[in-house]
Chains A and B, each alone.
Chain A
Amino acid sequence: MKPLSSHSVEASSLTRRYGYRVALKKVNITFPMEGIHGLFGANGAGKTTFLRIIATLLRPHGGTVKVMGYDPIEESIKVSEQIGLVGDKNLLYNELTGYENLEFYAGLYGMKKSQLDKNSNELAEIFDIKNWLHEPVKILSTGLRKRVDIIRALLHEPKLLLLDEPFSGLDRDTTDVFKQYLEEKRNSRAVVLTTHNLQMGTELCDSYVTLRRGEVLSSGAASEFDGIL
């Protein structure tokens, strides 16, 4: 199917408030259909709010936003089909096993069992979690849960990956595996990630946008990032 837009994310004058506090103030951000794009900024800069709006979790209070050409409020189901989200908290049910969690989410995405098994086996192999996938999530360590959660987000092969501090809680080896996975897929999907680790962010990303107090401070090629937040 031909994409509706040449941009994965197009935000224009995007505004969001929490009570009287303005989290995003008339922000204009555009990300292309491929590549890895970083959202940098100090705590409270508005990075997570921006990700939540494009992930259909929050309604903007002003401006417009299109995700893969669709409106995340009016066409939330079409947007949801194309995105995968790894947030600050994992989205797993503790009483279920890792595989049961994947099976549940795959069901919501309308995936067939054969496709679920193929994709989950491949990803479990990549993230080295095959031996833990049939254990209840509640007995897994934070890092193992994070790995299952990453597989959950990748399972339906999303065209746009939204990653909020994706490397926190991961050991060095898994971080390297995940970085390599993202680099391999950078030409076939768009990734928007937030990170406090600016060195890793600039190494991994193609472009960046820096937010400060809800406004865009700077943007450009990641290799040209000046380190100012």
Chain B
Amino acid sequence: MTSGIRAALKIARKDIVSQIRKKFEIFSMLLFALIAGLVFSFALPTALVEDLGGEAAIGAALIWVIVFFTGMFGFSPIFLAESESGTLRGLSVAPIPAWSVYIGKVIYGFVLMVLVEIFIIPIIQVLFGFTMFNEEPLLTVVTLLIGTLDLAAVGSMASALTMPSESKATIFPLVYFPTATSGLILLTEITRVLATGTTIVIAVGLTIPILFIALLAHLVAMITLSAVVFNFALSP
């Protein structure tokens, strides 16, 4: 028997290698992110952007909107592909804890979305003329990573829960949207405060820690709950 964490890393590695060889899924995600960024930059005139709080405030929110919807392409097939090909049975009969399969998929979804963010964040910053990494670049990076992990945790569980359904494509957003929204609101708010930078001293002192704790609590709750109930998805 191998340890749960080691098994999770092996599952994530296997999925990343498979994804790199398939190429088309990650390519369609990057294409969607690029087109969404371009459309938003043309759709929002400068005057409107100023009225809505400036480039940084709009750009920071748009990044999470794009990442959230791009996640649908990435997270939805996480378990669906394994379920349809039958390989999920191979993971189910392996001597590893059920939660390690879930954690492996979360790691894979996280890596996938980080790749999307590395691609889209510089583009959004150029299109909207702002930088997210002002006085607190490290905190911004940590927020991005925790936020992405949170979305990957929710997306992976939504994919697992919708596996037995006959209308997976319809059911997935119904599970993913409501569970991810609370984390998304927190992320957008933290990222907006960090990107605008003007109220950074007050924000870092007051707002950010509270929002950050709430975000971490959301992440821990999602991962713990999902890992605990996941064995019912593997052995119905």
A74-103 CB mask vs B (1 if < 8 Å, else 0) is 001110110101010111111110001000
B50-98 CB contacts (< 8 Å) to partner A: 85-87, 89-97
Does B235 lie within 8 Å of A91, measured CB to CB?
no
Interchain CA distance A107-B10 in the complex, whole Å: 7
Does B89 lie within 8 Å of A57, measured CB to CB?
yes
B11-38 CB contacts (< 8 Å) to partner A: 14, 17-18, 21-22
User: Number of contacts between A and B (CB, 8 Å)?
Assistant: 76
A109 touching B1 in the complex, CB below 8 Å, given contacts A58-B236, A95-B21: yes
Does A105 lie within 8 Å of B94, measured CB to CB?
yes
* Cross-chain contact of A56 among B14, B17, B85, B93 (Cβ < 8 A): B93
> B42 CB to closest chain A CB, in angstroms?
37
CB-CB < 8 A to A55: which residues of B? 93
Does A91 lie within 8 Å of B1, measured CB to CB?
no
Which residue from chain B places its CB closest to the CB of A81 in the assembled complex?
B95
Which residue from chain A places its CB closest to the CB of B21 in the assembled complex?
A95
Interchain CA distance A94-B86 in the complex, whole Å: 11
> B30 CB to closest chain A CB, in angstroms?
19
> B232 CB to closest chain A CB, in angstroms?
9
B171-185 CB contacts (< 8 Å) to partner A: none
A73 within 8 A of B: yes
- Looking at chain A's contact residues, the main secondary structure is loop
CB-CB < 8 A to A96: which residues of B? 14, 17-18
Which residue from chain B places its CB closest to the CB of A77 in the assembled complex?
B95
CB within 8 Å of A: which residues of B?
A: 1-2, 6-7, 10, 14, 17-18, 21-22, 85-87, 89-97, 235-236
* Cross-chain contact of A73 among B1, B89, B91, B235 (Cβ < 8 A): B235
Does A90 lie within 8 Å of B235, measured CB to CB?
no
Interchain CA distance A105-B90 in the complex, whole Å: 8
Task: Identify the 9 closest CB pairs spanning chains A and B, nearest first.
Answer: A89-B86, A91-B90, A80-B95, A110-B2, A95-B18, A108-B94, A81-B95, A95-B21, A107-B10
Number of interface residues of A (CB under 8 A): 31
A47-75 CB mask vs B (1 if < 8 Å, else 0) is 00000000111110000000000000100
Does A81 lie within 8 Å of B1, measured CB to CB?
yes
Interchain CA distance A109-B90 in the complex, whole Å: 11
A85 touching B89 in the complex, CB below 8 Å, given contacts A93-B18, A109-B95: yes
> A222 CB to closest chain B CB, in angstroms?
26
> B210 CB to closest chain A CB, in angstroms?
41
Does B97 lie within 8 Å of A56, measured CB to CB?
no
Does A58 lie within 8 Å of B2, measured CB to CB?
no
A104 within 8 A of B: yes
Interchain CA distance A12-B90 in the complex, whole Å: 26
* Cross-chain contact of A87 among B2, B85, B89, B235 (Cβ < 8 A): B89
